[in-house]
Structure 1
């Protein structure tokens, strides 16, 4: 993991395997449906930092995650899963599915 100042949000979503492709991550970022720490994001180049809370809609629920670290590459699922903590389940979401590439739909 990288412990730097920040990473482009679209790259981080792709590295964390929350988006199937980098272009899907860019589309989500530019859709104005994604928030970092409550702030609406409208560009893929927004920086995400460790400790940030990212939220976005997926199907009929809102996904809320806390950024735990930044990556240098897109690794396997086990490595990507260490980049964030899923706060959705802590909010009482019913039947929350694990966040994977296959589950993400933008």
Structure 2
């Protein structure tokens, strides 16, 4: 941390390691996902010590107070000294993490079962079901036809 009075918002977000590149920071700012002191901001907005920044990293909202400015991107422990997350933000993040733990995304369970392309065995099972639907229950759905 140096004796800088202010710096660009996109550069500060990059130096504080909220985003991997400055262009990703600019994209998030442009989408309105980053505000400074509860007001929409541009990437070129000057950030000063004491400013409050609201941002989203994926689905995780964060509210941080700027505690320092740095002219270069450094290691993570140094970057964490550039900001302080508010207690409300920490509580909200913990609550959202608990909700995700208790009610996981249903599609995640399906993705864990079948990842990637079907194996040779899977393909043979699918072919067997298509050739002989009566023996496997493939066509055992209820039908509303008159002939039944």
User: Structure 1-normalised TM-score?
Assistant: 0.80
Q: Which residue in 1 is equivalent to 2:103?
A: none
Question: Relative CO higher for 1 or 2, CA cutoff 8 Å, sep ≥ 6?
Answer: 1
Structure 2 CA distance for aligned equivalents of residues 5 and 47 of structure 1: 9
- CA separation of 1:96 and 1:20: change in aligned 2, threshold 3 A: farther
Give the structure with higher Rg (CA).
2
Measured after TM superposition, the shift of residue 29 of structure 1 is: 1.4
User: Structure 2-normalised TM-score?
Assistant: 0.58
Q: Note if contact 1:3-1:69 (Cα within 8 Å) is conserved in structure 2.
A: no
Three-state SS of the structure 2 residue aligned to 1:82 is: helix
RMSD: 1.7
Deviation beyond 4 Å, 4+ runs, structure 1: none
Q: How many residues of Structure 1 are paired with residues of Structure 2 in the alignment?
A: 94
Greater share of strand residues, 1 or 2? 1
Q: Which residue in 1 is equivalent to 2:50?
A: 51
Structure 1 CA distance for aligned equivalents of residues 65 and 11 of structure 2: 16
Structure 1 CA distance for aligned equivalents of residues 96 and 46 of structure 2: 27
Q: Which runs of 5+ in 2 are unaligned?
A: 98-148
Greater share of helix residues, 1 or 2? 2
Structure 1 CA distance for aligned equivalents of residues 85 and 96 of structure 2: 10
Q: Which residue in 1 is equivalent to 2:5?
A: 5
Match runs of 1:1-106 below 5 Å: 1-41=1-41, 43-87=42-86, 90-91=87-88, 92-93=91-92, 94=94
Q: Which runs of 5+ in 1 are unaligned?
A: 98-106
